[in-house]
């Protein structure tokens, strides 16, 4: 089954509650929350108190994407704030610390996940594959919404799909960056089952129709 995860980076932050409440009725499966620290990526977005506030009003599970340096420092805070899936970047710390952070997330009752930036090879997920409930393949350089989809990430997506099917079949495979109706189909054809969409979702005058098209 294909799932959708609208990224609220493209929502209207003045009307965040309104925009989040509209996601479920439009057919979304997760709320994708982008956390950036100005170090791991050149942008700053939201932190733990805002995730906790979103949790109070969101009927959908929160898919929290941490684009922060040494995320192990904040894993407990984001889990307690209400993340349902918590994604770390493999580039953000050592293998040892990343593994410890994923184990901590699991122990706190949250789904652990990892992400790879475009220049990071597929092999970087292998030490963590069995510890994760979701793997996120970035299809833009993380940091900003509204960038163009990198179709050259599709071989990496297919490789990771094959490893998931062999080693951890329950694990989800998510893509994030430049997803629209056309590129979403390319991602599905290459093995993704969770599609993040920010600008394409929130700019669309009919998000329910857009969501149906992504899942078609």
- Where in the sequence numbering do the catalytic residues fall? 34, 176
The site for ligand DX5 (CB under 6 A) is made up of: 7, 9-10, 32, 34, 65, 140, 142-143, 145-147, 176-179, 196-200
Q: Which does residue 143 bind out of ligand DX5, Zn ion, none, counting CB within 5 to 8 angstroms by kind?
A: ligand DX5
Q: How many CB atoms lie within 10 A of CB 1?
A: 6
Asked whether 146 and 179 are in contact (CB, 8 A), the reply is no
Query: Which of 89, 85, 158, 151 has its CA nearest to residue 120?
Result: 89
With residue 40 as reference, give the H or E element that holds it. Answer: none
The distance of closest approach from Cβ of residue 185 to Zn ion in the complex, given in angstroms and rounded to an integer, is 20
Residue from the set 19, 29, 34, 37 that interacts with Zn ion by CB under 5 A: 34
Residues in the chain: 216
Q: Which does residue 113 bind out of ligand DX5, Zn ion, none, counting CB within 5 to 8 angstroms by kind?
A: none
Kindly tell me which of 76 and 141 has the beta carbon lying closer to ligand DX5.
141
Asked whether 211 and 25 are in contact (CB, 8 A), the reply is no
Q: Which does residue 156 bind out of Zn ion, ligand DX5, none, counting CB within 5 to 8 angstroms by kind?
A: none
Kindly tell me which of 6 and 207 has the beta carbon lying closer to Zn ion.
6
Alpha carbon dihedral 40, 56, 192, 164, in 10-degree steps, equals 80
Kindly tell me which of 119 and 169 has the beta carbon lying closer to ligand DX5.
119
Instruction: State CA 81 to chain mean position distance.
Output: 17
Alpha carbon dihedral 42, 48, 54, 60, in 10-degree steps, equals 90
Extract the tokens encoding 163: 């490893």
Site string for Zn ion, 46-85 (x = CB under 5 A): -------------------x--------------------
Q: Which does residue 6 bind out of ligand DX5, Zn ion, none, counting CB within 5 to 8 angstroms by kind?
A: none
């Amino acid at each position: 089954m294909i799932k959708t995860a609208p990224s609220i980076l493209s929502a209207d932050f003045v009307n965040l509650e309104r925009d989040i409440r509209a996601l479920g009725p439009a057919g979304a499966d997760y709320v994708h929350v982008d956390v950036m620290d100005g170090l791991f990526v050149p942008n700053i977005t939201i932190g733990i108190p805002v995730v906790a506030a979103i949790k109070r009003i969101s009927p959908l599970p929160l898919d929290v994407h941490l684009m922060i340096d040494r995320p192990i420092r904040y894993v407990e805070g984001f889990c307690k704030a209400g993340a349902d899936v918590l994604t770390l970047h493999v580039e953000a710390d050592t293998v040892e610390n990343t593994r410890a952070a994923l184990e901590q997330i699991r122990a706190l009752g949250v789904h652990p996940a990892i992400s790879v930036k475009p220049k990071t090879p597929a092999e970087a997920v292998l030490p963590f594959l069995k510890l994760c409930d979701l793997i996120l393949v970035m299809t833009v350089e993380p940091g900003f919404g509204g960038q163009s989809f990198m179709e050259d990430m599709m071989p990496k997506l297919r490789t990771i799909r094959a490893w998931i099917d062999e080693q951890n079949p329950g694990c989800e495979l998510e893509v994030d960056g430049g997803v629209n109706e056309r590129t979403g189909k390319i991602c599905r054809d290459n093995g993704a089952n969770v599609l993040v969409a920010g600008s394409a979702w929130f700019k669309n005058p009919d998000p329910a129709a857009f969501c149906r098209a992504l899942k078609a």
